[in-house]
Amino acid sequence: MKIPFIKMHGLGNDFIIFDNIKDLIVHDTKFIKKISNRRLGIGCDQVLIVEDTAKSHNFKVTMYNSDGSETGACGNGTRCVADYLMKRDNLNSLNIESITGNLPCTKNNNLVTVNMGEPKFDWKDIPLSREQNTQKVLLDEFEAFCLSMGNPHAVVFMQNIDELESLDLNIVGPRLEKNINFPELTNIEFVCVLDDKTIRMRVWERGVGITMACGSGACASLVAAFKKNKSSKSNKIILDGGSLFIEWLNNGTVTLSGETEKVYEGIIGD
C-alpha cells in the first residue's frame, strides 16, 4: 500500500491532505489517529481528504480531527486545501463542500481567503445542552460567549494580557471542552483586546488540544468581540503562530484571510 499525501500549515495549524484517494483506509479512525500522532505518525491537527466532484471549481473535502472525529468547519484547513487545489488546477477561486456547508475560497497574492458563512447564536444551533443566554454561559470559573461557526465555540474574554498568557490551557482546556453545556464538546478561545484594539487569542481545539492557530476560532472571537462592543467588524487576530484577518461582512457572513505554506509531500506505505 502506497498512499501519497501533502503536509501543509496555516500559521502552524497543520494538516495532512489526501488528494482523491479511493482507499477506504484514509477514512479509518485508527489510521487517522496513527498518522496524526506526532511521535508514531506524520503529525497534524487535522486530516483533509479531497473527494471526487462532478462540478468545475467545486471540491468536496472531508475533514477529521486528530482524534478521528469528523469536523466540518476547519478554517485554516480549508484555506490550505484551497491553496493546494488552486495551484494544482491554476485557479484563483473555488468552492469547498463540507458537511456544514459550502465554503467559497479566493486567493490574492499570498493571502488565501475563505468565507466561513454566517455565525449562529441560537442555543440549539451551537449546540448547547439546554436553553440559556448564549452570551453568558457559565463554565466553572469562566463566563463564555457561545456561538457556532459551523462548529461550536466558547469565547472567554480575559481581563488583561498577563492573565491570558499565564493561563495553563493544558489544565483548563480539556475540562471546559467537555463541560456539561456542550453535548458535542466545544472549541475554547481565550481572548484579550489589546491597547491597539487588535485581538490576542489562544485556543484549545475540540478533538485536538492546543494548536498554534484556529481559523473558525478566530472568526468566533471577532464576532463575539463585536457583539460585546469590544471590536469593529474587521480586525487582526494574533495567535501563537501568527496573525489572521477576520471581517464580518454586511451580508452576515464572515471571511478569514491569512498565509498558507506547503511543508512537504510524501508517501505512506512500503
Q: How far apart are CA 121 and CA 98, in angstroms?
A: 20
For 85-99, what is each residue's pLDDT tens digit? 999 999 999 999 998
Q: How far apart are CA 126 and CA 267, in angstroms?
A: 38
Q: Which of 74, 80, 105, 219 is catalytic?
A: 74
214 is catalytic: yes
Predicted pLDDT at 185: 96
With b for 16 or more beta-carbon neighbours within 10 A and e for fewer, the 108-141 pattern comes to eeeebbbbbbbbbbebeebbbeeeeebeebebee
Angle separating helix axes 215-227 and 75-89, nearest 10 degrees: 130
Residue 54 has pLDDT above 80, yes or no: no
pTM for the model = 0.92
For 213-222, what is each residue's pLDDT tens digit? 999 999 999 9
Q: Which of 105, 146, 214, 219 is catalytic?
A: 214
What are the chain's domains? 2-117+258-269 (3.10.310.10), 137-251 (3.10.310.10)
74 is catalytic: yes
